Amino acid sequence: MATAVEYKTGASLVDEETFARIVLFMVNDPQFKEDPKHAPGILDQALAYYGAVAVHAGDPLMPSEAVDRGVHAILLHTRESHDLFNRIAGRFLHHNPHPERGGRPAASLAETKAAIRDAGYVVQDKFWATVEGGVSQCDSDDGRPYSTV
């Protein structure tokens, strides 16, 4: 008999107060100006992304354009990201922007979504859309030399 898998949310990785504070930051900060209807989902998926990066050391997992905004918001909250990364991975989880390389193939997003599911997190597909000409230029770069793809 098959056993049903219970997936957790990315939001479950932080306390409610921290989640609400980062969402509010994403909505109100002029750099982000995120839609209040989408900010919680974007942050949830960014946290799920980090949950997957924590257990897929060395794999170049890549956030979508939307999720990358949540990743950046997490990184700007240095105390919270430090605590989160140490708790879920026991190490710092790097973020690697390479705008000079342009977008990467959409297959990279499919691989990242699969890694998130494999790590036990819910994937909200609406935040993982591809864009014409490729996708996000950032990846986790975790466990690899910083200068390699």
Q: What is the pLDDT of residues 114-145, one digit of tens each?
A: 999 999 999 999 998 876 555 455 655 554 44
Separation of alpha carbons 63 and 84, rounded Å: 18
Are the C-beta atoms of 70 and 43 separated by less than 8 Å?
yes
Are the C-beta atoms of 95 and 140 separated by less than 8 Å?
yes
Cα 126 from chain centroid (whole Å): 14
Q: Token match 């100006």: residue?
A: 33
- Put simply, whether the predicted model's pTM sits higher than 0.75 gets the answer yes
